[in-house]
Amino acid sequence: MLTSDRLDGILRTLPRLTIGLVGDLFLDRYLELVAGSRELSIETGQEAYQIERVRNSPGALGTVLNNLAALGVGLLVPVTAIGDDGHGYDLLKGLRKLPVDLANVLCLPDRLTPTYTKPMRLVDGAWQELNRLDVRTRGPLSSAATAEVCRRLEIVFRSSDGLIVLDQLVDEDCGVVSAAVRDTLARLASESPDKLIFVDSRRFLAKFTAGVLKGNRSEVIGTVPDAGSAVGSALRGVPAAPADADLMESIAALARRTGRPAYCTVGERGILVAEPGQAVTLAPGVPVTGPIDIVGAGDSATSGIVCGLLAGALPHEAAALGNLVASITVQQLGTTGAATPQQVREAWRRHNP
């Protein structure tokens, strides 16, 4: 579904693109434990983790930024809100290494910078993630901050080639992507119907009425109340699982609602693609061998799909690029990986000998 010439054409286009983004920006902090050390606290008797290295990386929306930068996108313009704190300092320090315009990152004194702290232990030569520690403000942005996000979102949308929306949190209206932001997106989509708005939401896909919608199986299934009413749906080229009919009706309904393609990642099987008025089809996954780490795989797929669409690819070609990118990042253990154009070309050649 994606020829070598088509892939090269897409990758050559990326340095000329400006992509806007709006959503929840996290700091991923990896704490690497001393190998073989199991020291107990005298006071509590519990293990006191002994850290020998700290790695910081932009996470959530930052994972998408990392992937887009690695693929060679020229300029990335995020609209988001973080805390005015030490975690925010480390996060911005990481972002300054990327082709990112930070002018629309709001640093708010009344918010905590969302942070995933991940203790990592080396087990049999591979990093194993222990209990994660999550830091974030469990409450909505202020009305003034929300209005400022919407104002800046409109400016960035109009000056970018396309927009990515990453709705990371599962608590409604407690992150950057609130009801007010969804209303702003719907208005912008109606005013500029030919410009790409790509939405990836962990829990609230059903609340978006505009844009190209994307989720994984658990995020897509159930977004439509009558999803089980589909009759005769079939997943082309692969044996159907019992829940496939419901899943495909759900993603087809998402495409009908917005009048745009919709995507659903289904693990190693690949990515389902729904276009309004057409049967749901599958862009097959790229087989990989050896141990894998699926953390960030969905964000990798998002980056590949968006790059394809903005470079003029058809919906299925964009899904094939998303599969290629994800197949590379899942093989990078103990981190949320990224894929370079050279790695993408090599993965295509291995998959198409």
Beta bridge partners of 26: 59
Domain boundaries, the chain: 4-35+52-351
Pairing of strands 25-33, 51-60: antiparallel
Least confident interval from 31-40, 309-318, 329-338: 329-338
**Is the predicted pLDDT of residue 120 greater than 70, yes or no?**
yes
CA distances from 162 to 46, 190, 254, 279, 349 (A): 50, 14, 20, 26, 29
At 294, is the pLDDT very low, low, confident or very high (cuts 50, 70, 90)? confident
Cα angle 296, 69, 215 (rounded to 5 degrees) comes to 35
pLDDT at 256: 94
CATH architecture for segment(s) 4-35+52-351: 3-Layer(aba) Sandwich (3.40)
- Name which of 170, 8, 145 is nearest 79 in CA terms: 145
Tokens matching residue 326:
């994800």
pLDDT at 37: 84
pLDDT at 126: 83
**Is the predicted pLDDT of residue 226 greater than 60, yes or no?**
no
**Is the predicted pLDDT of residue 48 greater than 70, yes or no?**
yes
**Is the predicted pLDDT of residue 229 greater than 60, yes or no?**
no
pLDDT at 291: 79
Q: How many CA atoms lie within 13 A of 194 on its CB side?
A: 1
Report whether 338 contacts 20 (CB < 8 A).
no
Q: What does the pLDDT look like over 126-174, one tens digit per residue?
A: 888 999 999 999 999 999 999 999 999 999 999 999 999 999 898 989 9
> Radius of gyration over alpha carbons of the chain, in Å?
20
Angle, helices 315-329 vs 4-13, to 10°: value is 80
Beta bridge partners of 284: 270
Report whether 338 contacts 329 (CB < 8 A).
yes
At 239, is the pLDDT very low, low, confident or very high (cuts 50, 70, 90)? very low
pLDDT mean over 19-33: 96
**Is the predicted pLDDT of residue 238 greater than 90, yes or no?**
no
**Is the predicted pLDDT of residue 33 greater than 90, yes or no?**
yes
Least confident interval from 74-83, 203-212, 223-232: 223-232
pLDDT mean over 268-293: 90
Percent share of the chain, pLDDT over 90: 79
**Is the predicted pLDDT of residue 233 greater than 70, yes or no?**
no
**Is the predicted pLDDT of residue 334 greater than 80, yes or no?**
no
pLDDT at 225: 58
3-state secondary structure the chain: CCCHHHHHHHHHHHHHCEEEEEECEEEEEEEEECCCCCCECCCCCCECCCEEEEEEEEEEHHHHHHHHHHHCCCEEEEEEEEECCHHHHHHHHHHCCCCECCCCEEEECCCCCCEEEEEEEEECCEEEECCCEEECCCCCCCHHHHHHHHHHHHHHHHHCCEEEEEECCCCCCCCCCCHHHHHHHHHHHHHCCCCEEEEEECCCHHHCCCCEEEEEHHHHCCCCCCHHHCCCCCCCCCCCCCCHHHHHHHHHHHHHHHCCCEEEECHHHEEEEECCCCCCEEEECCCCCCCCCCCCHHHHHHHHHHHHHHCCCCHHHHHHHHHHHHHHHCCCCCCCCCCCHHHHHHHHHHHCC
**Is the predicted pLDDT of residue 113 greater than 90, yes or no?**
yes
- Name which of 333, 322, 349 is nearest 68 in CA terms: 322
What is the C-alpha to C-alpha distance for residues 335 and 138, in angstroms, rounded to an integer? Answer: 26
CB-based contacts of 79, cutoff 8 Å, min separation 6:
20, 21, 22, 104, 105, 149, 152, 153, 156, 176
Percent share of the chain, pLDDT over 70: 94
Q: What is the pTM of this model?
A: 0.90
